[in-house]
Chain A
Amino acid sequence: MPALKEVWMSVLAWKIWLYTGVDDVLGRYRRTILGPLWIVISQCAFIFGLYLIRKSIAGPDNANYLLFLAISIPAWNLIASFLIDGTNSLLRSKGYIESYPLPMPIFVIRTVVACLVNFFHLLVVFALIAIIYQHPLTLNALWFIPALLIITMFGFGACLGLSGLGVRFRDLSPAISAVIGLMFVLTPVFWVPVPELMNSAIVRYNPFFYLIEIMREPLLQSSISPNVWMTALLISVGTFIAGLTIYKMTRPTVIYWL
């Protein structure tokens, strides 16, 4: 089956990837009493820790920084998990791939679904903080929907391309994890991008900044310049095309390297 047709067949097999993707998230907490609530607890702890540090350095702050963190961290986690989990998506499904004649991208989409489910789960913390501090949500927040579509396209492309490469090259996954660790510090995720820094190279040439910005700003009621939207869209389309191309190249031999 040609690789691109296989991708399309996988998209149509939505019942399999939706079930396995959601189940992946539930499975992580299957033998714990609190279950998926642990995701929310660990997210709260992380945000609270960062808030305390900021408060001790910059003095008392308002709710804006908490809200900023509550959306930035899940958005960053989503992008990071697309890249890290995407690299391991076929390796993790080795047992299925070797036993059932299913289109392989099903297991890539499964990873994308698991990342998205996890993301929405983490947004619970944002919702809680927004309710506590009575953060208004206007129609501007609807821009979050196209932002999510753009990010999903980026995620699908990244997972698809990295999945085949991750099987072929086993040091790709730790290498990506290392880069992600560096980019977490360089990207305005836990630090607020002040105007002086907006034109610096680490923000201007940082693709993660644009992807996070389009998800973050609609929920924080800030406006986004059309340039940011266009750049994010270009990054997503470029990643999607690159992902399809790499998948097509790696697909014929990927089963041998599993």
Chain B
Amino acid sequence: MKLSLHQVTVAYPVNISARQQSIFATAAKAMSFGSFAKSGSNQTYVLALNQVTIDVKEGARIGLIGRNGSGKSTLLRTMAGIITPRSGKRFINGSVGCVLNLGSGLEADKSGIENMKMIARFYGMEGAELKNAVEDAANFSELGPYLDFPVRTYSSGMTARLCFGIATARHADIMLIDEVIGTGDAHFVAKAVARIKDICAKSGTVIIASHAESVLHDFCTQGVWMDSGTIKKMDELDTVLHAYNAAAG
């Protein structure tokens, strides 16, 4: 297993004017060598990751910390291969499991069990593996008869249980988890923590983004402090947390 990013930059375009996403304005600007459709069509970008280089060793347990908007989620999504860097290289060798964006992509009119099957397919499962994973996730979610109800009738906590259950039902070499443990009631949080411990035991490498220091202490040995799209510090977890808290005042 190997995961590394080299000089990776991710910049999101910020769209303020409709002209920025208009094919006619873009064509007019190109054909007039920039003299037409000038105002409002210049694109601005937000640097989410700025020349980030990180080498994740096999068996690493990394906790990502940082303020909101510091680049933690973008880093995880780039590692997962969801985001293509604008520059730099991503190297990965091994299977990736991710718990990102819980609830995103669910089909509201489909039942919980149908959504679980669909997500399991997205994770590459089929046949007996799919069946076992869905059973396991159904047991974990404790949704019982509600699993046959359309997802649009679920509360946010129920949705989180469903998605977390299926997203963590498969073993992967590298597990990427984004700020999901705080979702739901105390009973769910306890179960989620136990399940992540199980994942950590099975997976070679785990990277978790969280604001909860107790969660990071539970699972991680190393810490990465993200700040304004860059890695400010990477070291032992306690050392990084101490530096982060000191800076935060």
Contact = CB atoms under 8 A, between A and B. Distances in A.
Interface of A: 1, 15-16, 19-20, 23, 27, 30-31, 93, 95-102, 165, 168-172, 175, 251-253, 255-257
Contacts of B18: 170-171
B93 interface: no
A99 B101 contact: yes
Contacts of A98: 77, 82, 101, 104-105
Interface stretch (B19-27, B55-63, B193-201, B202-210): B19-27
B104 A99 contact: yes
Contacts of B104: 95-96, 98-99
A170 B73 CA distance: 26
Given A27-B109, A253-B86, A170 B22 contact: yes
Given A101-B81, A101-B82, A170-B22, 19 more contacts: A16-B122, A19-B118, A27-B109, A30-B109, A30-B110, A93-B105, A95-B105, A98-B101, A98-B105, A99-B100, A99-B104, A100-B122, A101-B96, A102-B122, A169-B23, A172-B23, A256-B83, A256-B86, A257-B13
Interface string B82-125: 11101000000000101011001111011000000011011100
A60 B143 CA distance: 62
B67 to A, nearest CB: 22
Contacts of A93: 105
Residue with the highest number of chain B CB atoms closer than 10 Å, among A19, A99, A171: A99
A85 B126 CA distance: 28
A256 B47 CA distance: 12
B12 interface: yes
Nearest to B84: A252
B98 to A, nearest CB: 7
B121 A16 contact: yes
Contacts of B101: 95, 98-99
B105 A96 contact: yes
A172 to B, nearest CB: 5
Nearest to A165: B23
B181 interface: no
Residue with the highest number of chain A CB atoms closer than 10 Å, among B18, B81, B82, B123: B82
B126 A15 contact: yes
B80 interface: yes
A99 B96 CA distance: 13
30 contacts: A19-B118, A19-B121, A23-B107, A23-B118, A27-B107, A95-B105, A98-B82, A99-B82, A99-B100, A100-B122, A100-B123, A101-B80, A101-B82, A101-B96, A101-B98, A168-B21, A169-B22, A169-B26, A170-B18, A170-B21, A171-B18, A171-B21, A171-B22, A171-B23, A171-B24, A252-B84, A255-B82, A255-B83, A256-B12, A256-B83
Contacts of A99: 82, 100-101, 104-105
A251 B84 contact: yes
A256 B20 CA distance: 13
Residue with the highest number of chain A CB atoms closer than 10 Å, among B21, B106, B109: B21
A102 B24 CA distance: 31
Contacts of A23: 107, 118
Given A30-B109, A257-B13, A15 B23 contact: no
Contacts of B106: 95
Contacts of B110: 27, 30
A15 B24 contact: no
Contacts of A20: 118
A16 B119 CA distance: 10
A187 B85 CA distance: 44
